[in-house]
């Protein structure tokens, strides 16, 4: 019987990184003043999402529209690529980065599954040999609309996207790493789920022969 390859599924924001990459990208790309102004304008949506009074996806789209609606695709591609290469690596948690490298060195298939946009994940991830499933942003006539292209890659959508990419039954063991309720469905796919376990000392890896 052919031995199955191991699979590792990683959430990005808060799991691999110390903080949310969207907010970090906005701060670094537009500056503190612009972010503060946006916070005032969008306060009802952002605060509402925090307390459950506004749908998370609705607040996210309004934030994206505020900053990116109407932006030329070429401009956004440069902005996202610069952030991914220059800033995202600096946010990686040491234990998370070590676990990521451990999986790659073993030859496991590694997929980053994130609610953040693929645009500022792929330029960092793909040179390392990581695959990416993330939220997609809508383009029209060479510009971003500020809306999502499809569903926000969170919760059950993460599982749908993984299953569209690959057959989980073809992999053993499956490792999954997450840090919020939006990762619970993905963690349920795994033989070795790790919830908020990459924030400090690196947990002992599961045996390579599992």
Which pLDDT score, from 0 to 100, does residue 200 have? 73
Which pLDDT score, from 0 to 100, does residue 205 have? 57
Q: How confident is the model at residue 18 (pLDDT cuts 50, 70, 90)?
A: very high
CATH code 3.40.50.1000 for 5-195 = yes
Average pLDDT over residues 140-167: 97
Q: How confident is the model at residue 209 (pLDDT cuts 50, 70, 90)?
A: very low
Question: What's the distance, Cα to Cα, between the start and end of the chain in Å?
Answer: 15
Residue 50: pLDDT above 90? no
The dihedral over CA atoms of 11, 134, 73, 76, expressed in degrees to the nearest 10, equals -10
| Model confidence pTM above 0.75 | yes
Which pLDDT score, from 0 to 100, does residue 199 have? 84
E strand or H helix that includes residue 132? strand 131-135
Place of tokens 């040491």: 94
Spell out the domain ranges in the chain.
5-195
DSSP 151: -
Tell me the three state secondary structure of residue 12.
Answer: coil
Distance in angstroms (rounded) separating the CA atoms of residues 20 and 109:
24
> Please, what is the average pLDDT of the chain?
94
Distances in Å between the Cα of 75 and the Cα atoms of 23, 132, 142 are 18, 21, 10
Contact present, 149 and 139 (Cβ < 8 Å): yes
Percent of the chain with pLDDT over 70: 94
pLDDT in tens, 84-125: 999 999 999 999 999 999 999 999 999 999 999 999 999 999
Distance in angstroms (rounded) separating the CA atoms of residues 137 and 142:
12
DSSP 208: T
pLDDT in tens, 159-184: 999 999 999 999 999 999 999 999 99
Phi-psi region at 157: left, alpha or beta (left = phi > 0; alpha = psi -120 to 50): alpha
pLDDT in tens, 71-87: 999 999 999 999 999 99
Which pLDDT score, from 0 to 100, does residue 210 have? 43
DSSP 98: H
Length of the chain: 210
Which positions ≥6 away from 13 have C-beta within 8 Å? 19, 20, 21, 22, 114, 115, 116
Which pLDDT score, from 0 to 100, does residue 2 have? 64
């Amino acid at each position: 019987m052919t031995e199955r390859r191991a699979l590792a599924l990683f959430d990005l924001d808060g799991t691999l990184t110390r903080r949310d990459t969207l907010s970090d990208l906005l701060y670094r790309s537009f500056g503190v003043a612009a972010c503060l102004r946006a916070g005032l304008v969008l306060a009802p949506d952002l605060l509402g999402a925090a307390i459950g009074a506004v749908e998370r996806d609705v607040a996210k789209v309004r934030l994206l529209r505020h900053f990116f609606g109407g932006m030329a695709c070429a401009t956004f591609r440069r902005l996202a690529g610069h952030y991914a290469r220059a800033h995202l690596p600096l946010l990686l948690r040491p234990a998370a980065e070590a676990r990521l490298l451990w999986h790659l060195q073993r030859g496991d298939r590694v997929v980053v599954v994130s609610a953040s946009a693929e645009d500022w994940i792929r330029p960092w991830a793909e040179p390392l040999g990581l695959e990416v499933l993330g939220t997609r942003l809508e383009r029209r006539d060479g510009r971003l609309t500020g809306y999502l292209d499809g569903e926000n890659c969170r919760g059950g959508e993460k599982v749908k996207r993984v299953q569209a990419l690959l057959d989980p039954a073809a992999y053993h063991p499956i490792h999954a790493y997450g840090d919020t309720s939006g990762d619970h469905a993905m963690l349920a796919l795994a033989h070795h789920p790790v919830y908020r376990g990459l924030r400090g000392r690196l947990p002992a890896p599961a045996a390579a022969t599992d």
